[in-house]
Structures are given as structure tokens and as C-alpha cells.
Structure 1
């Protein structure tokens, strides 16, 4: 049963993102999971509606979709002069979203699900929100570093990164809709993205936090779902991102995605035909729940 109307906004801020509970299949007083999903760069949260519905139904829980700042239903727009970067998203927006969900669903295990850039930003934000999270789920997500691409494509990736960096630096905003990559974004956000794409490291403009160091201290269960032959998030990109989470219990799985689609389309099309991803997440979350119950029982015995 859907408790909240899919169009109902539970959290909104002109300076942040828009939060919508899309599907809630929980029974009253249930303790089933709540998933907070962050989209890829330039993709509206509504694109993930089939995934949100299927996941909530599979676990008899709830799924929340959140637009990243400047995307989807967010009021901020780079074309209108909005200026922001990773710092506002990972230090303000996502922690506020998680706090809102904790209030809406008290006592429920909350998993942060991020696709592509949403996974990267969710990982960075986890250092601020870890106490409120039961785990982190990354779907087709890894660093943007060009050097982790397969050798045959690395030179193309290097050129693409330099072109994107130059365009974003010269123009008032990055015209991703025109260029076919990433959607329209502010210059500072693209500077943060470009730094990671060139170096593999995270440097958040305007922040005093050393995120490379801070990522080592996050201690959460992590599930990484990687799409085979994904040219947007190759295996090396996931490896590089996960290597930064030295204190996390990480499980990696590979999936096929929508095999009839071209390789680059499979990076996105899983969200429209989500059965494979939903099955993997459901299996992993149930294992996490069993582990948590065993730990509680052991503590009670002691």
C-alpha cells in the first residue's frame, strides 16, 4: 500500500534538493528498510521511479528519491546563476535529507543508494550522516578518474576530461544538456568533478575537510553493484572508489544490466528495468538484517 502520494514533497529547500517518498509498502509500525536514492549527474530523480517502486515492494519497505541540487525538481539552476559545488551537496543537502528521513521513519534502517555521481556524493556525505545510516549501496558508481579506464579508451577519456574542464572554466556555466553529458551544471561543481577526473582524488572546493582522509574513517556495510563492460563506470573506477573506504565491510557484485541495450545505455537503463538490481540489493539487505539480529542476540546473551 502506498502511504504517501508520489507527488507529495516531504522535504524541500530552495537552496537544496527536493525529497519525495515515491513508494512506501511498509505496514504500520514495521521496521523494514528505507532506501534514499541519489541520481546520476544530470538525471532527474523521477527517472528512477520503476526502481523505487520495485525496491520498496520487494522488501515491504519504503524508497525515497531525491533530486540533486540543480537537477530535476530542484529550484536551483546553473543557467539562472546558481553557484554551488560538491560542498553544498555533501555537507548540507544530503545530511539534511537523511535527518528528514530519520524523522519521518524513526527506528528504521536507512540505506543510502547512489547511482554514478550520486554514489560518489553519497559516499562523501556518509562521513556526515553515517550514524543515521545502516549501509551504503553503490550502483554503477566509481571515481571519474580517466586513468582507471581500460587502456584502449584511456586517451579518449583524458581528452574528454580536458575538454569538459576547459568548457566549464570558460563559460558562465557548463552546458551539459547541449554537449550530451552531465546536464547543465555550475562551474564550481564541474571544477570539483574535473579534479577527481584528473587525479582520482576528492578535493571539495571551499571545505576545510580532507575528504581523502575522512573516507578512511567511515565504517559502514557497503554493497557495490557494477555493470559488466560499463564504459561510464568501468571496474577500475569502482575499485579506486572502494579502496578509499578502508574501514568499511565491502561486498562487490557484477550484474549484466539490460543486455539488449548498447553498453553506454546499460549504465542508465537498469533503473527502468530494475529486477536484477533489486534482487541483488534485497539479498544483501536481508543478509545485513540477519547479521544485525545475530549481533543483538549475542549482546543480549553476554
Structure 2
């Protein structure tokens, strides 16, 4: 019998938008509460097995779909006004507030996949996090990518996104195996930020005026894979330059050393790679404050 259960819950953002989320709740007293923040265009279902693993080890975990994605899409995707910026400024903070209300005596930790780690500095309540663990979170800077993947990345960002937005009013990223269909503004910001340096930094003083990237200083571990064409070491470093005071450690996993044929940008969360989940588990055990 499982030592946890799940609840499908609604999370309301400050602007009134309703997000679909799932809470994984241990039946015993929890060790800590985990905000599991997704990659761009990836639904919460993708993280279910990983969330179950953490819940089995005594951690309360919440997964969610960002607005405009999966079950948090209201209406047609072409009508969605969602952006990467509002995911960080509205959605992620609201989910953290839900955790704080549900578990007021806990500590709170972020596990972010790609965008889920990149956007943390936009959260007005990010200082309530005791630690951060990310996988494949980097600036995604196109200029740093190596051929032949660089050609694919430039095609997707600088040709496919503008053309798809023009023709369909949104980005049909699913056609290229890039997750869910993306709202127009999400894809536009993604393209703009990956063409610049420091990802979100390209929007400072333009669309972003308030953020915590300069001040966050909690312990963090930034994990990438040697066979990831996006979150390469130089792009992880580029992302970390935006977090000027972050207490950051890095770790690069090799699929060969981990007895896997592939890790890449996505496979860390697959059941086949479940032995890698000991890394975030150990991180949490070392960074959860004693009760």
C-alpha cells in the first residue's frame, strides 16, 4: 500500500487565473514541501513518477501546469496571453503560496526542470525557498550551442516560431517534439531570451523591472547532462551569472557513468533513470532544516 496519496487541486494566481495542480501527500508527517516546476511546454503528468518517488520518501510535492499549458489552458491556445514572464511572476509564486498555506510549518524547496529553474528569480516570494535543485536549467543561449544541434535550434527559434505564430496564432511546437503547443507570447519570449545572453537578463529594464536574481543566496545545485545539447556547461555558467549572490554548486552527469544510453535534456525524469533521483533526494536530506 502506498504511503502517500494524491489530490488534484486548483491554484489561483494573484491575477485570478486558475492553474491545475496535483498534490502528492505523504500519510505520515512530511519532511518538507517541494515545488516541482516544469520545463517550457511540459505538462505535470511528465513528472508524476518522480513526484511519487519523493512522496514515498516523506516529501509533500506539488506539480502543476503553467497557464496556457495542459490542464491550465483555458480556451484556445491561440487566444492565450500567457508568457514566460508571467509563469515566473504569477504562476510559480501562486503554487508556492498554496504550499505555504497547506503546510505552514514546513520548509519549502524548489526542484526546477529547465525553465522551472530559470524563472525562480521572478518569484516575489522566492526567498521563502530554503534550497533549489535544478536539472537542465541554463540560459539556453543559441550562440554557445555546437553544430549540428545549433542549426536545429536556430531553425526552431528563429524560423519555426515566427512562422508558426504568424500562420496559427501560436507555436505548434508539438510537431517538432518540443512539448505542448505554446502560446504566442511564451514562444516569442523564449526565442528572444535564448538569442541573448543570460536568458531572462535580456528583458531586465524592458519588460522586467522587479526581480530577485541579484539577491537570492540560498543553497542551490545545478545539474546537467553531458549529452544535453541545450544545457551545456557554458550555458549553465551563463545562467548562473544572472544569480549574482547565489550559493551555487554544479554537477554534470554522464550517461555512460550512469549506465544509461541517454539522459539529455529530458530523460532525467524517466522511470528508466530513476536511480538518478538519489541526487535530488540526497540534496533535500542535506538541506532540509531540522524540525
TM tier, smaller: 0.7 to 0.9
Corresponding residue of 2:46: 47
The correspondence for 2:61, drawn from 43, 49, 63, is 63
List aligned pairs for 1:175-186, cutoff 5 A.
175-186=172-183
Match of 1:129 among 104, 109, 125: 125
Structure 1 position 150 matched with structure 2 position 152: no
Report SS of the residue matched to 1:183. Answer: coil
Q: 1:94 aligns with which of 82, 92, 95?
A: 92
Q: Is the 8 A contact 1:255 1:276 kept in 2?
A: no
**2:173 and 2:180 in contact (8 A); partners too:** yes
CA distance in 1, matches of 2:206, 2:101: 29
Equivalence for 2:231: 233
Runs of 4+ in 1 over 4 A off after TM superposition: 1-5, 257-263
Shift of 1:9: 1.4
Cα deviation, residue 16, structure 1 = 4.1
Query: Which has the larger displacement, 251-260 or 222-231?
Result: 251-260
Say if 2:17 is the partner of 1:15.
yes
Higher strand content, 1 or 2: 2
Q: Which secondary structure state, in structure 2, belongs to the residue aligned with residue 277 of structure 1?
A: helix
Q: 1:79 to 1:151 in 2, by over 3 A?
A: closer
State the superposition RMSD in angstroms.
Answer: 2.8
- C-alpha displacement of 1:286: 2.1
| Change beyond 3 A, Cα 1:210–1:151 | farther
1:136-175 alignment runs, 5 A limit: 136-150=132-146, 153-171=149-167, 172-175=169-172
Q: 1:168 to 1:125 in 2, by over 3 A?
A: farther
Q: Which runs of 5+ in 1 are unaligned?
A: 297-302
Decide whether the 8 Å contact of 2:5 with 2:26 is kept in 1.
no
**Contact 2:9–2:20 at 8 Å: present in 1 too?**
yes
Specify the alignment match of 1:110 in structure 2: 108
**Structure 1 stretch displaced more, 66-75 or 251-260:** 251-260
Displacement of 1:68 in angstroms is 1.4
Contact kept in structure 2, 1:174 and 1:185, CA below 8 Å = yes
Structure-2 separation of matches of 1:256 and 1:76: 40
Equivalent residues in 2 for 1:234-273 (5 A)? 234-256=232-254, 260-262=260-262, 266-273=264-271
Work out the CA distance in 1 between the residues paired with 2:260 and 2:282.
Answer: 25
- CA offsets per residue over residues 249-278 of structure 1, 9 Å max, x none? 111112235754456xx4222212253332
Report the Cα distance in structure 1 between the residues aligned to 2:109 and 2:90, rounded to whole angstroms. 18
Gaps of 5+ in 2: none
